[in-house]
C-alpha cells in the first residue's frame, strides 16, 4: 500500500494541471436558504442569471439539483421560467427530493415517496420524460448497509443514478454568514467572507486531490458541490478561475458536455470544516 501511495504521489507531480477534470454541481435550486424574500420572482431571476452567467459564457458544464418543493409560493410558470434559465445555460437538472429530508432521520419509505413526488413535479415543470441524476440531501445515502442498498435499488428501479460528491465543502456556511452580514449591512464582515471564500475552496480542492491519490493511487475526475446562493452568484467567476484547468478544458468544447463523471455511489468519504478535516458526515 505504501508503494502504491508513493507511486501515486510521484505521478501527481507529473500530471499537468490542465488535465484536472471537475464536474460542477449546484444544489438546492431554485435557491438555497430561501428566507428573506429570496423566492420573490424578480429577485430569484436576477440571482439565477448572475449565478449562471459565467457558466453560460464559458460553456462550462453544470448539473443543478432541484428541491422541487422549494419556493412553494412561486407559480408553476415562474418556477418553470427560473429552471429554464438553468437549462438555457446548458445545465442538466437532477432530483434533490421534494422537501429536502435527511435519510438518517427519515424512514426510508417516507423518503422514497418524497423522491417520487419530486420526480413527478420536475417532469411536469420541465416537460421531461426522464430525470437521470439524484442527489441525497446532506449527502445522506443511508446510515446502514440495508438502507443504502434499498435506496440504491429504489433509484435504479426509477431510472436514477446517484450523484456523489468528491469536493465536499461548507460553502453553505459561508453563504449563511454572508447573507446575515448583508442583511445587517455589515460591510466589513461581508468583505471578510468574500475574501476568505475562494482560498477556502482552493484548500478543499487541494486536500481532496491529494486524498484521491492517497486512496485511489491516481488522479480522479472530481465532483464539486456548491449551492445556489448569493455568495456563489458573486464569487463564481473567481471560483472558476481558481479551477481554471477544468474550466479551460470544458470551455474548449463547442457544446457543454452532457456527461457527468460519476464515481461510486457512496456517501462522502470525508469533509472539511474550519478546524481541519474529519471523516464521515
Ligand atoms: Zn441540499
Q: How far is the CA of 216 from the centre of ligand 1 (A)?
A: 27
pLDDT of residue 34: 59
Instruction: Say if 213 falls within a structural domain.
Output: no
User: Residue 184 Cα, ligand 1 centroid: separation in angstroms?
Assistant: 25
Buried b (16+ CB within 10 A) or exposed e, 249-259: bbbeeeebeee
Site of grid cell 437532477: 94
Q: Please give the distance, rounded to the nearest whole angstrom, from the Cα atom of residue 28 to the centre of ligand 1.
A: 5
Per-residue pLDDT tens over the stretch 89-101: 999 999 999 999 9
CA of 140 to the centre of ligand 1 (A): 10
pLDDT in tens, 149-202: 999 999 999 999 999 999 999 999 999 999 999 999 999 999 999 999 999 999
Q: Which long-range contacts (CB under 8 A, 24 or more apart) does 187-195 make?
A: 193/231, 194/231, 194/234, 194/235
Q: Is residue 166 part of a domain?
A: yes
Q: How many domains does the chain have?
A: 1
Q: Is 107 inside a domain boundary?
A: yes
Integer CA distances (angstroms), 60 to 114, 132, 235, in order: 31, 20, 15
Mean pLDDT of 139-155: 97
Is 206 domain-assigned? no
Share above pLDDT 90 across residues of the chain, in percent, rounded to a whole number: 74
Residue 209 clears pLDDT 90, i.e. is over it: yes
Ligand 1 centre distance from Cα of residue 6 (Å): 36
* Cβ contact 61:90 at 8 Å: yes
Buried b (16+ CB within 10 A) or exposed e, 50-80: ebbebbbebbbbbbbbbbbebbeebeeebbe
pLDDT tens by residue, 34-48: 566 889 999 999 999
Residue 257 included in any domain: no
Q: What is the rounded CA–CA span in Å between residue 67 and residue 266? A: 21
Q: Side by side, which strands form the sheet with 22-29?
A: 161-162, 133-134, 92-95, 62-66, 22-29, 222-227
Confirm whether 154 is domain-assigned.
yes
The residue segments making up the domain with residue 53 are: 18-170+223-248
pLDDT at 33: 74
State the pLDDT at residue 19: 72
- How deeply is 107 buried, as exposed, middle or buried, from its count of CB atoms within 10 A (0-12, 13-18, 19+)? exposed
Q: How many CA atoms lie within 13 A of 169 on its CB side?
A: 26
Query: Stretch 53-58: mean pLDDT, rounded?
Result: 93
Q: Is residue 97 part of a domain?
A: yes
Residue 55 lies in a domain: yes
- Is it the case that residue 274 has pLDDT exceeding 70? no
pTM over 0.75: yes
- Please tell me the distance between residue 59's alpha carbon and the centre of ligand 1 in angstroms: 24
CATH code for the domain in which residue 135 is found? 3.20.20.370
| Distance (Å) from CA 12 to ligand 1 centroid | 32
CB atoms within 5 A of ion ligand 1 belong to 27-28, 137
Amino acid at each position: 500500500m505504501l508503494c502504491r501511495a508513493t507511486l501515486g504521489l510521484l505521478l501527481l507531480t507529473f500530471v499537468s494541471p490542465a488535465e484536472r477534470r471537475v464536474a460542477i454541481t449546484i444544489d438546492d435550486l431554485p435557491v438555497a436558504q430561501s428566507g428573506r424574500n429570496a423566492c420573490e420572482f424578480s429577485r430569484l431571476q436576477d440571482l439565477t442569471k448572475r449565478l449562471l452567467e459565467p457558466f453560460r459564457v464559458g460553456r462550462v458544464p453544470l448539473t443543478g439539483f432541484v428541491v422541487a418543493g422549494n419556493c412553494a409560493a412561486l407559480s408553476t410558470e415562474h418556477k418553470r421560467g427560473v429552471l429554464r434559465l438553468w437549462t438555457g445555460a446548458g445545465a442538466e437538472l437532477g432530483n434533490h427530493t421534494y422537501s429536502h429530508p435527511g435519510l438518517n432521520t427519515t424512514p426510508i419509505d417516507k423518503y422514497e415517496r418524497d423522491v417520487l413526488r419530486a420526480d413527478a413535479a420536475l417532469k411536469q415543470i420541465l416537460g421531461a420524460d426522464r430525470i437521470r441524476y439524484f442527489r441525497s440531501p446532506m449527502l445522506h445515502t443511508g446510515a446502514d448497509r440495508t438502507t443504502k442498498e434499498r435506496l440504491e435499488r429504489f433509484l435504479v428501479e426509477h431510472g436514477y443514478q446517484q450523484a456523489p460528491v468528491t469536493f465536499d465543502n461548507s460553502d453553505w456556511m459561508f453563504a449563511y454568514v454572508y447573507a446575515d452580514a448583508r442583511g445587517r449591512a455589515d460591510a466589513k464582515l461581508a468583505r471578510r467572507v468574500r475574501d476568505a471564500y475562494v482560498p477556502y475552496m482552493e484548500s478543499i480542492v487541494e486536500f481532496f486531490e491529494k486524498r484521491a491519490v492517497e486512496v485511489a493511487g491516481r488522479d480522479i475526475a472530481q465532483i464539486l458541490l456548491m449551492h445556489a446562493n448569493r455568495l456563489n452568484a458573486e464569487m463564481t467567476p473567481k471560483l472558476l478561475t481558481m479551477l481554471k484547468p477544468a474550466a479551460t478544458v470544458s470551455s474548449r468544447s463547442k457544446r457543454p458536455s452532457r456527461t457527468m463523471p460519476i464515481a461510486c455511489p457512496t456517501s462522502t468519504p470525508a469533509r472539511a470544516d474550519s478546524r481541519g478535516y474529519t471523516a464521515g458526515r
